[in-house]
């Protein structure tokens, strides 16, 4: 858990998570700082998965890509995967942040492959199966992901969402769900709050919940509340 805070609360860094040091989910915080602190290396990320195109989930992507492009040793091939429009969005983000020069360097050194995902997408990258579920949020296409590691463990990421069918499908497919919990005090438009998390915990007893995208930290029965740099080791099913 590289960043566990909600967009504006200051409760933690903005959203970013990493599975096995290889799959980076969202890039809202300075992952080139947070990954080494977690004992991980930016150069070993093979896939970046974006849940949606809000700033608190994506605005450090140009910095991550720059860090990768400027690495001296030969970088691992990189895939950028996310909702429809990802290629144009990332291009604009990099060019706005750093101009055409760094964009060209990233293209030349990394040659990042783009993978467009949508509801129902089911792809395997480097032995990790990624299933995408459309969720309801306040911006364009937004996706939750279920990521199954080669050892059979499935970790889910809600991104930002309301309670909706896609989110429930994602939770049902996961052993551990990194679930948004933006409020503890009451409903919030386009987001999930603690009361709704409790309902999910009750509805999906097989799934363990880790709460993130936090604007506060309070205990919630049946769930673990994340903090920045929390590392979880999840035993294989059975
Ligand atoms: Zn957010």
Question: Quick one: tokens of 41?
Answer: 């290396």
Cα angle 110-139-161, degrees, rounded to a multiple of 5: 95
For ligand 1, the distance from its centroid to the CA atom of residue 125, given in whole angstroms, is: 25
Domain membership of residue 1 (yes or no) is: no
pLDDT of residue 74: 59
- Nearest alpha-carbon partner for 119 in 108, 135, 106: 135
Going from the Cα of 28 to the center of ligand 1, the distance in angstroms, rounded, reads: 9
- Tell me how many domains the chain contains: 1
142 CA distance to ligand 1 centroid (A)? 11
Q: What is the pLDDT of residues 47-65, one digit of tens each?
A: 999 999 999 999 999 999 9
Q: How far is the CA of 55 from the centre of ligand 1 (A)?
A: 8
Q: What is the 15 CA–ligand 1 centroid distance (Å)?
A: 7
Residue 233 located in a structural domain: no
Quote the ligand 1 centre to 214 CA distance (angstroms).
9
How far apart are the CA of 191 and the centre of ligand 1, in A?
Answer: 9
| Distance (Å) from CA 160 to ligand 1 centroid | 6
Q: Which is it for strands 23-25 and 17-19: parallel, antiparallel or unpaired?
A: antiparallel
pLDDT of 73 reads: 62
CA of 1 from ligand 1 middle (Å) equals 14
Per residue in 148-187, pLDDT tens? 999 999 999 999 999 999 999 999 999 999 999 999 999 9
Q: What is the pLDDT of residue 99?
A: 96
Residue 76 within a domain: yes
Cβ 187 vs Cβ 175: under 8 Å: no
Residues of the chain with pLDDT below 70 are: 72-75
The answer as to whether 113 is a domain residue is yes
| pLDDT computed for residue 105 by the predictor | 93
Is 142 inside any structural domain? yes
How far is the centre of ligand 1, averaged over its atoms, from the C-alpha of 233 (Å)? 25
Q: What residue ranges in 65-127 does DSSP mark as E strands? A: 79-82, 113-116, 122-125
108 Cα: distance to centroid of ligand 1 (angstroms)? 31
Cα–Cα separations (whole angstroms), residue 144 to 36, 66, 81, 137, 147: 26, 26, 12, 11, 10
> Is residue 232 one of the residues assigned to a domain?
no
Amino acid 63: pLDDT? 97
CATH number of the structural domain spanning residue 137 = 3.60.15.10
Does some domain include residue 3? no
In a domain, 92, yes or no: yes
Q: In which domain, by residue range, is 73 found? A: 17-225
CA of 50 to the centre of ligand 1 (A): 11
CA 6 to ligand 1 centroid distance, Å: 6
Question: How far apart are the CA of 237 and the centre of ligand 1, in A?
Answer: 30
Give me the sign of the Cα torsion angle 177, 180, 185, 188: negative
What's the pLDDT at 238?
A: 75
């Amino acid at each position: 858990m590289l960043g566990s805070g909600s967009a504006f609360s200051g409760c933690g860094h903005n959203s970013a998570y990493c599975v096995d040091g290889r799959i980076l989910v969202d890039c809202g915080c300075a992952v080139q700082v947070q990954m080494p602190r977690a004992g991980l290396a930016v150069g070993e990320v093979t896939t970046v998965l974006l849940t949606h195109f809000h700033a608190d989930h994506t605005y450090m992507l140009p910095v991550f890509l720059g860090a990768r492009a400027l690495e001296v040793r030969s970088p691992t091939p990189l895939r950028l995967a996310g909702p429809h429009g990802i290629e144009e969005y990332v291009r604009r983000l990099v060019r706005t942040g750093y101009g055409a020069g760094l964009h060209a360097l990233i293209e030349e050194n990394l040659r990042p492959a783009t993978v467009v995902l949508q509801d129902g997408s089911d792809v395997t990258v480097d032995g990790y199966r990624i299933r995408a579920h459309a969720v309801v949020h306040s911006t364009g296409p937004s996706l939750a992901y279920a990521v199954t590691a080669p050892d059979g463990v499935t970790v889910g990421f809600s991104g930002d969402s309301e309670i909706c069918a896609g989110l429930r499908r994602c939770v049902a497919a996961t052993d551990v769900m990194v679930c948004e919990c933006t409020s503890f005090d009451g409903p919030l438009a386009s987001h999930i709050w603690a009361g709704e998390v409790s309902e999910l915990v009750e509805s999906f007893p097989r799934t363990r919940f880790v709460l993130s995208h936090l604007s506060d930290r309070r205990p919630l029965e049946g769930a673990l509340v994340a903090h920045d740099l929390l590392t979880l080791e999840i035993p294989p099913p059975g």
